[in-house]
Amino acid sequence: MASGSATEYVTHHLEHLTVGEGFWTVHIDTLAVSWILGLVFLGIFYAVARKASVEAPSGIQTAVEACVEFVDKQVSESFHGPKDFVAPLGLTIFVWVLFWNLMDLIPVDLFPELLKLVGIEYVRILPSADMNATFGLSLTVLALIIIYSIKGKGGKGFGKELFCHPFGSHPLLWPANLMLNIVEMIAKPVSLGMRLFGNLYAAEIIFILIALLPIWAQWIPGVAWAIFHILVIPLQAFIFMVLTIVYLSLAYEEH
């Protein structure tokens, strides 16, 4: 239990480890944790990929292949263009976000207390509860949506869709069409990023609140919330991946 009032405890836990001022502030904790998790992901998958065996896959290879198969199936069902970029993108999103979300299950006080020993005051180890991380993904996806729109329909086709869809191709309707399309385009990354952020941020706060309970009462809501979260964690990673693929497929194909 933290000393001082509950408000103080909660706000303390919601403070990032930062460097810099204003916009150029950088959340060291978010970056470091997501890098480490990303390297764990890539390390495991790269090690498997380098000595992938056709005849006798090891246990870890089987697990990795299950992931790959799963993502590949989702991509094949939704996206009908060339898959050499979209499928690895889906895999990266799914596993990386899954690893981020798993950080939610680590006791909320473990890393803050450990790092306090080496003099670090604030730390948040759940990247998905940082909007910068979730929007980092979803804005990259927005860029990909634009790239795939141009790739799939050509610059002219994409322009035509922006101006002439959905109301019609009359020049008077162009502003309305463009407005609607821009709103639609912006809504995609915002909903993607907010969904992941909102779910995991709320989860983190609930865990922090549970940690405020007396020590003998913590395990009941703690266990219940953690079990519920075992469902939410892969689900959110899955939703992020599938929506990304669906958005890209919508962007790539003619309506």
Which part of the chain contacts another protein (CB under 8 A), choosing from 39-47, 157-165, 174-182, 218-226?
39-47
Indicate whether 237 belongs to the interface with another protein (CB under 8 A).
no
Let me know if 50 is a catalytic residue.
no
How far apart, in Å, do the first and last CA atoms of the chain sit?
56
DSSP per-residue codes, 184-239: HHHHHHHHHHHHHHHHHHHHHHHHHHHTTS-TTTTHHHHHHHHHHHHHHHHHHHHH
Which part of the chain contacts another protein (CB under 8 A), choosing from 43-51, 174-182, 213-221, 227-235?
43-51
Indicate whether 236 belongs to the interface with another protein (CB under 8 A).
no
| Positions 131 through 170 that interact with another protein (CB under 8 A) | 131-133, 135-137, 139-140
- Contact between 74 and 90 under an 8 Å Cβ cutoff? The reply is yes
Which residue, 133 or 211, has its beta carbon nearer to another protein? 133
Q: Which of 138, 177, 199, 249 is catalytic?
A: 199
Which part of the chain contacts another protein (CB under 8 A), choosing from 42-50, 112-120, 171-179, 212-220?
42-50
Indicate whether 33 belongs to the interface with another protein (CB under 8 A).
no
DSSP state of 3: S
Dihedral of CA atoms 38, 44, 45, 48 in degrees, nearest 10, equals 170
Kindly tell me the burial class for residue 229, based on how many C-beta atoms sit within 10 Å of its own C-beta (0-12, 13-18, 19 or more): buried
Count of residues of this chain found to bind another protein when the rule CB under 8 A is applied: 47
DSSP state of 29: H
Three-state secondary structure call for residue 26: strand
- Contact between 137 and 193 under an 8 Å Cβ cutoff? The reply is yes
Which part of the chain contacts another protein (CB under 8 A), choosing from 106-114, 130-138, 165-173, 220-228?
130-138
Indicate whether 218 belongs to the interface with another protein (CB under 8 A).
no
Let me know if 132 is a catalytic residue.
no
- The whole-angstrom separation of Cα 100 and Cα 191 is 18
Footprint of another protein (CB under 8 A): 14, 20, 22-27, 30-31, 34-35, 38, 41-42, 45-46, 48-50, 52-55, 57, 64-65, 68-69, 72, 84-85, 87-89, 91-92, 96, 130-133, 135-137, 139-140
For the annotated catalytic residues, the residue numbers are 191, 195, 199
